[in-house]
Every structure is written in C-alpha cells, then in structure tokens.
Chains A and B, each alone.
Chain A
Amino acid sequence: MTTITWTDDFDTACQQAGQDHKLVLLDFFSPT
C-alpha cells in the first residue's frame, strides 16, 4: 500500500519543492 513519505526537514523540503514545481505541505501534529 502506498503511504505518504514525510520529512521533518523543512528547509530541504522547500528546496525540493522548488525543483519539482510543487508546494510544501507542513503538518504540525501531536501524537497524544
């Protein structure tokens, strides 16, 4: 089953988004 591949590195994600012509989805979550 396909899953979402999350990262916790926002700045690298921004660089990747620029290269891929995407936007960044930022999810702040609390596991409890």
Chain B
Amino acid sequence: MSAVTYSDTQVIDTITARFVPVQINTQEAAGQPMVQRFYQVWTPDLRVASPDGMDLYHWNGYLPPAEFVPQLLVAQAHTLLRLHDEPGAAAVYREVLERFPTSAVAPEAQYFAAVAMYKHSHKAPDLLDTWRRLQTQYPNSIWRVKQSFTEEG
C-alpha cells in the first residue's frame, strides 16, 4: 500500500483533505491494544471512524489508486450517512459517480445515493428514479439485484 497507493498524489490529497489518518502496525506490541479494540484480523484493514471513535465503515485488501480513491469516498459517504448527514453523504456519492463511474464501488454509490436522497427528502422518486439508473448503468451489479423488487415484470 505505501509503495504505490499511499504515494499517489490523488490518494494523498483525498486523505489529507478529508481525514485525520491513523496507522497501526499490527506486528508491534504497541499496536496490540488497537488490534484488540477493533477486533482486527487481517491486513490491509481500513476503517473510517467518526470523531467519537466509532468505526462506521470497513474494508480489507489492497487497492491500487484508481480503486482506492473511489472506495475511500464511498467510505466517507457511508460514514456521513450513518451520522445522519444525508445531504453530505449524497454529495459524496454523486462525486463518486461523476469522477469514477467505472470503478468497482460505483454501483454501491448509485444505490446509496438514492438512499441518502430519499432519507433527506422522504420523496419516493428520489429513491426509485435514482435506483432505476442501476438498471441502465450497472445492470450486472449486485446492487441492481438489491433493488430488483422495484422492477416491473
């Protein structure tokens, strides 16, 4: 991760602008209290936590910069959503869809953009019309399947 992903300018800029970054070496004794506190088992292991110390999004595994940045933005958006900042979350999901429409996490961003918009507006079209884009933009995604009960026929 450090040799490639964390050396990438876009990764550095994204982390620096939006996060306070913490690294825990799981092989050192000093890291063991954090390993136990977060039930950590496998690296790379990335979490996004709220300022009160709750980890609200988690993923494992190496990602190159082109996938790391959109994954990090989705993690930010999910965390904002769970903190009930629905407009903030929707804006970051839309950013993923605009900047990284072919990334692996784009369908997830499309699905939850609809959720964030609906939870803010309570208007059904915000949910259903935004989900419908999964049918056209990401028809083979599991996130399309997760809204398929809304599809006709």
Q: Which residues of A contact B (CB under 8 A)?
A: 2-11, 13-18, 20, 22-32
Contact = CB atoms under 8 A, between A and B. Distances in A.
Contact of A10 (B1, B6, B16, B34): B34
A25 B25 contact: no
B61 interface: no
Name the interface size band of chain B. 35 or more
- Report whether over half of chain A's contact residues are helix, strand or loop; otherwise say mixed: mixed
A26 B23 CA distance: 6
Given A6-B22, A27-B23, A18 B15 contact: no
A23 B23 contact: no
Contacts of B48: 23-26
Contacts of B22: 6-10, 13, 24-27
A17 B24 contact: no
Contact of B49 (A5, A8, A23, A28): A23
Contacts of A26: 22, 24, 38, 46-49, 55
Interface of B: 1-2, 6-7, 9, 12-13, 15-16, 18-27, 30-31, 34-35, 38, 40, 43-53, 55, 72, 76, 79
B148 to A, nearest CB: 32
A16 to B, nearest CB: 5
19 contacts: A3-B7, A3-B12, A4-B21, A6-B22, A7-B21, A8-B31, A17-B49, A18-B51, A18-B52, A22-B20, A24-B49, A26-B24, A26-B55, A27-B44, A28-B40, A28-B46, A29-B2, A30-B27, A31-B27
Contact of A22 (B6, B19, B30, B35): B19
